[in-house]
Amino acid sequence: MKLRTRILALMLCVSVLLSLCGCLPIPIVQDALDELREEPQTAQEQTQAEPEEEIETLAGDGYFEPLARDERSYDEMQLGEITCEAYAPYCEAITRAAEENSQEAFHRACFEAEQMLVKIDTAASLLALESDRDATDEALAERALRQTQAYYDAADLYHQTLHEVSEGEHSRLLSREFETWQVEIFKSYDQESSQESMDLSAQESELVRQYAALSAQEELDVDAAADVYLELVKVRSQMAELAGSASYADYAYSAFYSRDYTPADAQKIWQTAKEDFAPLLTKYSDTLSQALSDSGISSTGGITGQNVIDALLYGTARMSPEVREAAEYLVEHSLYDISYSEKKLPTGYTSYLYSFDVPFIFNCPYDSYADYTDMFHEFGHWLAGYYHGSDALYGVIDYDLSELQSQGMEVMFLQFYEDLFGDDAEILRAQTLLNLVYSVVTGAMYDEFQQRIYAESDLTKDRLLDIYREVYASYGFEPYDGYEYEWTEVIHNFQQPLYYISYAVSAIPALELYARSTESPNDAMDTYLRVASMSDEDYFLTDALRETGLTNSMKSPIGDVIARELEESGAFDIS
C-alpha cells in the first residue's frame, strides 16, 4: 500500500494526461468490418430490438466495490470559468471560524473550501478538453490556461490560509480536522518558495501551450518545437533546484510520479529493452509491415466512432458483468470524445472530472486500426476510474500500475479479434503485440533520452539532437532523413517529462499476461481484473505484480523469457 505522506505533488497539478498509446508508427486499417459498419447499433438500440441474450463471460463479478453514480451525461457538465477571486471568500470563512475557535464552523468552512477547490480543478479539466478539441484556437487555449492558473492560485491560497491557522492560537483545530500528515503539509508551507514555484509552473504551462499550438498545425515545425523544449528544460531544471533535488529526473520520479524506484533503477529496464525486446522489433517489423501491405489493409478504412464503440461493447460484454456495466455507463452517458477533427490535439488520454466523480476519454482518431486499440487502452484507465474514483486534492497516481491496467485491457481484447476483425485478425493481433514490444523499447528509450537531457548543465540544440541520435541508435533503430527530430512528435516529452518509462515497466507484465491468456483465457482475465481492482492511488505496480504472481522486471530478468515465449508461441508469425 502507498503511504499517504506521498501526496505533495497533486496540489501543484491540475488534471494530468494519462496516456498516449505506445504504437508503432505504421498506418494500419481494417477494411473488413462489414458487419459492424453496415448497421451500427448502440447498446440501447440493440436492447430495444431484441431480448437480451445470455452472454458467457470469462469472469464473474465481485472484483470491484460499486460506487454510487448519478445519471448526468457529459453535455450537462458545464462549469465555465471560476476565478481565484471567487475562491477567496471560502478561505476567509476558514479564518473566521478559526478566530471564533468553533470546530463545527471550522469543519464546515474547510469542507466547503475543498469542494470549491475541486470545482475549480474540474473547470480547468473541462476547459482543457474544450481546448484540445480545437488546438488551433488560441483564445480557447488562453482561457484553459487561465483556468489552470486559477486553480494553482486557489490551491496556494488554501494552503496559505491553513498555514496561518497552524501558527495561530487555535492551531489545535487543524489536528481535529485533518490527519497528521496533512497538518505537516500546512505547517511546512512557505509563501516565498510557493510563489516562486507557481511562477515556474506558469512559465511551464505557457510553454506547453505553445507546443500544443505547434502540434495542431498541419505539419509540426520541428525547429520551433525544439526551441520550446529547450526552454522547458531550463524551467524544469529550476523547479528541481527549488525543490532541493539533485536532478530533474529525481524530482519528477518522486514529486510527479511517486515511483517506488529511482531513475538509476530504471536503467535495468533500459538494458532489457535493448537486449531482449529491441531485437524483436528488428526481426519482425519489416515482415509484419510487408504482410500488412500484402493483405490489402489500406490507410482509408472509413472507420467510424460507432464502429469503435460497437467493438468496445462486444468485447467488454464477454469479459465480466462488472466490465460490461462500466462500458455501458460510459456509452450511455457520452463520457468520451473519439470523433475526428483536423483541429484536434493529436493525442489520447483519460481525464477525471472530480466534481462529477467520473472519468472521461479523449482521443484523436486516425481512421486506422489503432483507433480500436487506443480506445481499448483508454478504457482500461476508464474502468479503474469508474470503480475506484479519485481524490482531487490528496490522491497521487502510480502511473506504472495505471498503464498495466490499460495495456492489460488491450491484451484482454486480443481473444476477440477473430470476431471483430475477421480474416485480418491474425495480422492485427501480431501488430498489437508488436506495439506492446514497441512500448517497452520506446518507453526505455525516451526515459534514457530525457534523463541524459536533464543531466546536461548547458544544453544546446546541437547537443540535444546529438544525444537523441546516440540513444536512438543504441536501441537498434535505423536512421532516416529527419529522424533526429522524431522525439518532437511525442507529446509526452513536452507535457509529461519522464513519464514514458511507465509504458515500458507495464508493457512487460502485459505481455506476460498475454502468455497466460494463451494457456487459459479465464485465468488471464481473473489476473487482469485483480490488477484492475487495485486503485492506482492506493497501490504501486509492484504490489499488483506481487499479489497476482506477475513478474517484477526490476528484480527478475524476465525480458528474455517473455521474448522467447512470444517467439515460440508464433505471436509474430503471419501465415
The pLDDT of residue 26 is 31
The pLDDT of residue 113 is 97
Centre a 10 Å sphere on the Cβ of residue 280 and count the other Cβ atoms it contains: 22
Q: Where are the alpha helices (DSSP H) in 39-82?
A: 43-49
The pLDDT of residue 215 is 84
The pLDDT of residue 278 is 96
Centre a 10 Å sphere on the Cβ of residue 462 and count the other Cβ atoms it contains: 8
Q: Which residue has the higher pLDDT, 190 or 320?
A: 320
Q: Is the pLDDT of residue 486 over 50?
A: yes
User: Up-side HSE of residue 116: CA atoms within 13 Å toward CB?
Assistant: 24
Q: Is the pLDDT of residue 112 over 70?
A: yes
The pLDDT of residue 290 is 82
Question: Per-residue pLDDT tens for 230-254?
Answer: 999 999 999 999 989 989 999 999 8
Angle in degrees, CA 61, 65, 68, rounded to 5: 115
Nearest in space to 541 (alpha carbons), one of 522, 513, 560, 563:
513
The pLDDT of residue 352 is 95
pLDDT band at 48 (very low <50, low <70, confident <90, very high): very low
pLDDT band at 272 (very low <50, low <70, confident <90, very high): very high
- Provide the b/e sequence for 222-247 (b: ≥16 CB within 10 Å): beebbebbbebbebbbbbbeeeebee
Instruction: Round the CA-based radius of gyration of the chain to a whole number and report it.
Output: 24
Q: Is the pLDDT of residue 182 over 70?
A: yes
CA–CA gap between residue 28 and residue 320 (Å, rounded): 29
Q: Cell for 270?
A: 533500459
Longest dimension (CA), the chain: 78
Question: Per-residue pLDDT tens for 397-453?
Answer: 899 999 999 999 999 999 999 999 988 899 999 999 999 999 999 999 999 999 999
Q: How far is CA 91 from CA 96, 97, 106, 159, in A?
A: 9, 10, 11, 9
Q: Is the pLDDT of residue 20 over 60?
A: no
Residues 42 and 49: beta-carbon distance below 8 Å:
no
Q: Which residues have CB under 8 Å from 214's CB, separation 6+?
A: 220, 221, 224, 225, 228
Nearest in space to 141 (alpha carbons), one of 151, 150, 152, 130:
130
The pLDDT of residue 514 is 95
The pLDDT of residue 5 is 28
CA–CA gap between residue 501 and residue 240 (Å, rounded): 19
Nearest in space to 464 (alpha carbons), one of 247, 223, 271, 204:
223
Mean pLDDT of 159-178: 94
CA–CA gap between residue 430 and residue 426 (Å, rounded): 6
Question: Per-residue pLDDT tens for 293-322?
Answer: 776 564 446 788 999 999 999 999 999 999
Q: Which residue has the higher pLDDT, 159 or 295?
A: 159
Which three-class secondary structure state does DSSP give residue 58? coil
Q: Cell for 310?
A: 460497437
Residues 96 and 108: beta-carbon distance below 8 Å:
no
pLDDT band at 31 (very low <50, low <70, confident <90, very high): very low
The pLDDT of residue 51 is 52
Q: pTM, whole model, 2 decimals? A: 0.86
Q: Which residues have CB under 8 Å from 2's CB, separation 6+?
A: 258, 396, 398, 537, 538, 539, 540
Polymer length in residues for the chain: 575
Q: Among 36-50, 298-312, 336-350, 397-411, where is mean pLDDT lowest?
A: 36-50
Q: Which residues have CB under 8 Å from 47's CB, separation 6+?
A: none
The pLDDT of residue 19 is 33
Q: Cell for 277?
A: 525486446
The pLDDT of residue 52 is 59
Q: Is the pLDDT of residue 29 over 90?
A: no
Q: Is the pLDDT of residue 9 over 70?
A: no
Mean pLDDT of 129-148: 93
Question: Per-residue pLDDT tens for 68-101?
Answer: 888 899 999 999 999 999 999 999 999 999 999 9
Mean pLDDT of 258-269: 92
